[in-house]
Amino acid sequence: MTLIGRFFTITALALGFGVALPHVTQAPHLAHAQPGDKPAEPAPPTPEQLEAAKAAFLEGKTLFDAKKFDVAVEKFKESYRLSRNPLLLYNVAFTFDQLGQKDMAHFYYSKFLADAPADAAQRPEATARLKVLDKELQRDTPPDGGEVKPPDGGGEVKPPDGGTGGKPRVKKPPSAYTAEDFQHQIVEEAPPGRPLDLTAFVPEDAGWQVTMFYRGGGDAKFTSVGMKPRYSELVGRIPAKVMAGSSVQYYIEVRTPTGEMVSRVGRPASPNIVYLDPKAKPRYYPD
């Protein structure tokens, strides 16, 4: 049996398709809140949620076997959201790996190693793969924890002559820019009870309008927020009061001043899911 096939079998059992494994009908152990924080720990999954998690898992496996990895990974993420079973994180990571999305695979392998039981069967494979991804990605990004602060405690640091290292920046007409010039790093987890600042980057002279849409657990409609400049990026905030339950959802649209769609990250029918975990590090600018 292949590695992923073996893990599918183990996870299926863990979700209740046979003999239950430890830690599967309860929420994973959560770290104690930091001083001054009192986030509510999510309740263990209900029997209905576990049944829905099993169904999502089986759909994901069928899609994975059909090599429809982009849809399969969303089903595995949904199964994890419902069950909070950390073993599923390996499935998510492995599927992102098949898609060639190394950064997302790195994120979920890391989360699997942090949250899964010490004796999880795939821990050695995940550890080895994470080391390879570290080298391949040549990770040179700032840590994603703590409050986001500008360098040296305040003010934007720019090179001379308009931020191009000594050369004057050449201004382009808006029509010269494409969707490839829009950047956003998807956020997968955040702590409950704190605001979440989502960030994006667009060229200053593109003239694009960037809007973030979010909704909390149980909300039927999305709330729209225009992303505003702060330092060298655009920021849209999900308020702390919305950051409750097990997850929040968001998507981002980029449009021209005339309303033409340039790019989007997620959409109303398939938004990005941010899992709320007290162990996650905050991501917001201080007010």
pLDDT in tens, 33-92: 344 444 455 678 899 989 999 999 999 999 999 999 999 998 998 899 889 899 999 999
pTM over 0.85: no
Domain boundaries, the chain: 3-29+43-137, 174-276
d(CA 113, CA 43) in angstroms, rounded, equals: 22
Band of residue 12 on the pLDDT scale cut at 50, 70, 90: low
Domain 174-276 matching CATH 2.60.40.10: the answer reads yes
What are the CA-CA distances from residue 117 to residues 13, 84, 121, 131, 254 (Å)?
A: 15, 13, 9, 20, 41
Where residue 168 falls among pLDDT bands split at 50, 70, 90? low
Which is it for the CA torsion 96, 100, 101, 103, positive or negative?
Answer: positive
Mark 229-265 as b/e (b = at least 16 C-beta within 10 Å).
Answer: eebebbbbbbeeebbbebbbbbbbbbeeeeeeebbbb
> At 94, which amino acid appears?
F
In the predicted model, what is the mean pLDDT of residues 180-207? Answer: 92
Backbone angles phi, psi at 30, to 5 degrees: -110, 145
| CATH number for the domain whose boundaries are 3-29+43-137 | 1.25.40.10
Using only C-alpha atoms, what is the Rg of the chain?
A: 20
Measured distance CA(216)–CA(43) in Å, rounded: 17
HSE (side-chain half, CA atoms, 13 Å) at 188: 18
Q: What is the dihedral of CA 174, 175, 177, 178, to 10 degrees?
A: 130
